[in-house]
Structure 1
Amino acid sequence: MPSHAKPAVTPAMTYSAAGVGWAVLAVGIFTLIFTSGKLAGGQVPALQIMAMRYLGAFLTLAVWWLARGGQVASLRTQRPGRHVLRAFTGAAGTTAAMYAATHLPLASASALGLLDGLFTLALAVLLLHERPPLRLWLASLLCLAGALGVVVAQAGLPSAQGGSLVPVLVAVMGALFIACESLLLKTLSRSESSFTVLWYVNLIAAVLLLSVAALDWTPMSAGMTAAFLALGPLSLVAMLCNLRAFRLCDAAVIGPLRYTWIVFGLVFGWLLFGERPSAGALAGAAVVIAGGVWIARLRRPR
């Protein structure tokens, strides 16, 4: 490289276009998972659905582990406390996101969930000492502006539960928890195998959520039980996508890509629930996509 040339991303940043793709795929899968409570018509509490999801994921991993010989060595970890903390933040964040998706218009719930991208970017700077380039900040703000435009266009928040702000506050807290989980996942991906990370997060989260959900368990049909357990294997695919993304990119890069949640929310809301997006919402989604494309092209020369 000539001496006068400058890299598009600072040396402190770890970046990969493939990592961007894995992150976006994970967001799409998780958005579909979060709609399951709404698909069930709100008949089953979000906490119970999430408990079934983590249980289904752990049972899938257990079967795979036994089929591979059940080697105890594959379960050893150097960071047990970090696994527990990540499981707690992940379970709290995903349960809050599902609650919000059940009690708010899907696009609005998705827009509030996008705050985890902003939280992740800020926490990555403060706690992981990552140094995002200016263009990443600008692309993130572009995504945020587009997502906020969707919220204004859809005007879904004030109507939730007769004007109650509870789902809104729950969604914001959920976004903060998911941002914390993202940073923990980034640190775990440096030293732990993918299987170890998946094993402990699903085991611990299943125990935590089942313990709480059992206090007020809602009876379910066999078909509904099977459907919620099937969310487990689907979430494993999304978790693997996230692990790949965090191994290829810094948290500051992955965080803003969560804004694509609003785009998936608009699509699934339209296809599954007949929530037709307005012209303003589509324009906001286009801005989010533009910001995501900008992030994906960060390393390319101007």
Structure 2
Amino acid sequence: MQLRHTYTNLKAIAWVTIGTALFSLIFASGKFVAGWSVSPLQILFLRYAGGLATLLSVVAARREHLSNYRSKKPFSHLWRAIFGASGGGAIIYASANMPIVDATAISLLYVVFVILLGVLFMRDRLTVQHIGAVAICCAGASIIMASRGAFTAFRLAYVFPACIAILGAALMAVEGLMIKMLSRFDRAMTVLLYVNMFGILLMAIPAFIQWRSLQFETEMLFALLGPIAVTAQYCIVQGYRLASLSIVGPIDYTWLIFAGVIGFLFFGEKPTLGVALGSAIIAIGGITLAITKPVASERDSKSPA
């Protein structure tokens, strides 16, 4: 029984890790275009448009009708889209207006927020092993932040972006809670269709107000974030479906690892021994979470595939 539980946790952790890696690239998009004066809302709109186009193509390829993906909780999907779009926009803004590692570090407060929400609303029960594993992940994240020089060059001008990053973390945590809840009732494709459809509707007017004229090739480049986001969303939904928030939530600490990789590959930020050490410690924390024994009263409802 314990072996099966560990396998399920490992699957959930793997799904969320892949999704986190893809989202790290998306959230860094604001940094890539920091000198282009492109609004984060414009990036989000194009991302959602690309995502919806991808999903509709999948539905068409399956020769299915959209009515097959109708949800009984459409307003819950709307709220999830509101929180997700707002949180994503906040993190993109923060990453574009302060050092990417600093913004990522602050945004990782998401982990604390989502665990608390899981305890309050999903009745997740934290054991000593749970708390120890989260502490290990947090220690690894702290080492990476210190080695990458997070906050060492923190300026007064970064205060506002930092507050936006904290707000983004809270909004993303609420979205995480709603993903967990909705994954119990709807298929992954249903969840993805609703969030991208509502995302377009929510971003249309704000994006239009702040729209900047770009070359067609550049707009298509942003639209290509859609398929990446859809893949990331699918991974996150699958992971959240399999395990409790107290298990999958701390895996978002890998976000800091991926941010460091992006910084190295695209912005010339040199890797350090601290990054490698912190990454290894986070991995240990993830393994500890995977083998954490379930609380006797913990019950995870099965959801449709």
Q: 1:217 aligns with which of 211, 215, 218?
A: 211
Partner of 2:224: helix, strand, or coil? helix
1:134-186 CA-partner distances (Å, limit 9, x unpaired): 21111112212322333334334364675330111111111111111111000
| 8 Å contact from structure 1 (residues 270, 276) kept in 2 | yes
Cα deviation for residue 278 of structure 1 reads 4.0
Aligned equivalents of 1:102 and 1:218: distance in 2? 16
Matches within 5 A, 1:34-183: 34-43=27-36, 44-69=38-63, 71-157=65-151, 159=153, 163-183=157-177
Q: For residues 164 and 238 of structure 1, what CA distance do their matches in structure 2 show? A: 29
Deviates more, 1:127-136 or 1:182-191: 127-136
Matched letter for residue 33 of structure 1 = I
Partner of 2:255: 261
- Segments of structure 2 that go 5 or more residues without pairing to the other structure are 295-305
Aligned pairs, number:
293
Asked whether the 8 Å contact 2:257–2:275 carries over to 1, the reply is no
TM-score in terms of structure 1 length: 0.89
The separation in 2 between residues aligned to 1:28 and 1:217, in whole angstroms, is 28
Deviation at 1:15, TM superposition (A): 5.0
Q: Is the 8 A contact 2:9 2:291 kept in 1?
A: no
CA distance in 2, matches of 1:42, 1:72: 40
Q: What is the one-letter code of the residue matched to 1:16?
A: N
Equivalent AA in structure 1 for residue 190 of structure 2: T
Let me know the Cα RMSD of the aligned residues. 2.5
Query: Structure 1 vs Structure 2: percent identity of aligned residues?
Result: 32
2:24 maps to a residue whose letter is T
Q: Distance in 2 between matches of 1:87 and 1:161?
A: 33
CA distance in 2, matches of 1:161, 1:208: 33
Q: Which residue of 2 aligns with 1:274?
A: 268
What is the CA distance between 1:104 and its match in structure 2? 2.4
> CA-to-partner distance for each residue in 1:219-254, whole Å, 9 max, x for gaps?
111121111101101111111111111121111211
Equivalent position to 2:23, from 17, 30, 34: 30
Secondary structure of the equivalent of 1:287? helix
Q: Out of 239, 264, 282, which is 2:233 matched to?
A: 239
Cα deviations by residue, 1:79-106 (Å, 9 ceiling, x for unpaired): 1111011000111111111112222222
Cα gap change, 1:192/1:278 in structure 2, threshold over 3 Å: closer, same or farther? same
SS at match of 2:81: helix
Q: Structure 1 unaligned runs (5+)?
A: 2-6
* Alignment correspondent of 2:299: none
Which residue identity lines up with residue 235 of structure 1 in the other structure? A
Change (3 A) 1:156 1:132: closer
Does the C-alpha gap of structure 1 residues 124 and 193 become closer, same or farther in structure 2, counting only changes over 3 Å? same
The equivalent residue for 1:20 is: 13
Compared CA separation, residues 278 and 191, structure 1 to 2 (3 A): same
Give, in angstroms, the shift of residue 51 of structure 1.
1.3
* Maintained 8 Å contact 1:144/1:288: yes
> Using the alignment, how far apart are the partners of 2:287 and 2:261 within structure 1?
18
